[in-house]
Amino acid sequence: MPSLVEATAADIDALLPALEAIYKDIHAHPELSMAEFRTASMVADRIEKLGYEVSRNVGKTGVVGVLRNGDGATVMLRADMDALPVTEATGLPYASQVKAKDEDGIEVGVAHACGHDLHVTWLLGAAQLLAKHRDAWKGTVLVVFQPGEEVGRGARSMMDDGMATRFPKPDIILGQHVMVGAAGTVGYRSGTILSAGDSLKVKLFGRGAHGSQPQTSIDPVIMAASTTMRLQTIVSREIAPLDSAVLTVGALQAGTKENIIPDDATLKLNVRTYDEDVREYMLGAIRRICCAECAASGAPRDPEFTTLSSYPLTVNDEQASSRISDAFKQWFGERAFETQPAAASEDFSVFGRTWGVPYVFWIIGGTDARVYAQAKAEKKLNQIPGNHSPMYAPTLDPTLRTGLEAMICAAAVWLDQQDEKA
């Protein structure tokens, strides 16, 4: 009897055209976080026709499909469904024209500028192959289509909606992400692969006045500008050179008119770290500096801190990672390689952390291999449009095939009947 990977490989060529059509449809119809109603309905209908036990509206818009196929390991495969408040600028014939209102009621462009449309397509393809080739594996498969990854709430909302009691507990949780890298490659890593990410809103309070009478004000614009500059010294002067951290002030919002000093200003900032102690220090230092700058300005009250999102570290289980990397190297050869930790963050690990089971996450390259090689040779990799860019558009060939093969290859480590460890 052929292995699961070998059995499904013969069908991938025939499946790719249909998957490409699904991908382009999802890409042209993106939905914002926690509002993935069309996408969720589509994936639920498709996997239900394949014979999966389907649960809809898990954690609001999440979908869980369960396929039982005898005794064996339980494997969870996960894909995120949400898009970004970005106006697409790729010029693709299937580019998004969608606009929607965000959670603040502001109309924004919406685009799959992070690759989640590809993630959904990969998982739909894997679900179809697993359903067709039940004679090549044993166990239980959970296919999980998750909402709200971009706001860091989706995985938690699904777990809070009873995933741990409603569905079989996985022995392993698997996920992948398309990122800048040569298409056709798979980047694996044991231990930390993605950073922790924390996003904060800090409101600074001053005293408004006429622009011609600054002496009667406590200027929150100056306060915000000074705070922004001082925050940059945390990484440059307080974090050890061998530790890694990033602090970005992505928004500074204050005032409405050039001759009015406003009452308040708002900073929105993002922090990425690879160590829990560094993370805690960074968050404490941010609070210290913001409060100190407000005190130095004579602010009438302390700043107000709001957590916008919080992503834990993604730390791959060492034993499970070793088994998957061996499988990747056997199947992909030199196209599988050990990658460095990425500065991106994910809420994928919430499933494994909450369930208390091992998880593994890996990276699929999505950049045309020739474009990537030339940019690397010219030391211009930072000029390739990456995830969250309005120009981001992964090349489909061979990225679509590679991600599908990688998902099946990893799942087969636990499901393949020929694997004595399964």
**Numbered residues of the known binding site for Mn(2+):** 114, 116, 150, 177
For 272-318, the three-class secondary structure string (H helix, E strand, C coil) is: EECCHHHHHHHHHHHHHHHHHHHHHCCCCCCCEEEEEEEECCEEECH
Please state, in angstroms and rounded to a whole number, the distance separating the CA atoms of residues 152 and 307.
11
Residue indicated by tokens 């460095």 = 340
Please state, in angstroms and rounded to a whole number, the distance separating the CA atoms of residues 6 and 406.
12
| Sequence-ordered alpha helix ranges (H) in 202-264 | 220-231, 233
Nearest to 252 by CA among 232, 278, 279, 275: 232
Bridge partners, 18 (sequence order): none
Where is the binding site, in residues? 114, 116, 150, 177
Nearest to 249 by CA among 280, 290, 193, 310: 290
One-character DSSP codes across 98-152: -EEE-TTS-EEE-B--SSHHHHHHHHHHHHHHHHHTGGGB-EEEEEEEE--GGGT
CA atoms within 13 A on the CB side of 150: 24
Please state, in angstroms and rounded to a whole number, the distance separating the CA atoms of residues 176 and 340.
15
Strand-pair category, 359-367 with 172-182: parallel
Q: Vertex 23, ends 189 and 154: CA angle to 5°?
A: 60
* Type of residue at 79: A
Phi, psi of 378 (to 5 degrees): -90, 5
CA quadruple 172, 178, 183, 188: dihedral, nearest 10: -40
**Burial (0-12, 13-18, 19+ Cβ within 10 Å), 172:** buried
Contact 16, 401 (CB under 8 A): yes
Strand-pair category, 172-182 with 74-80: parallel
Number of helices and strands in the chain (H, E) = 12, 18
Helix axes 396-415, 4-28, angle to 10 degrees: 130
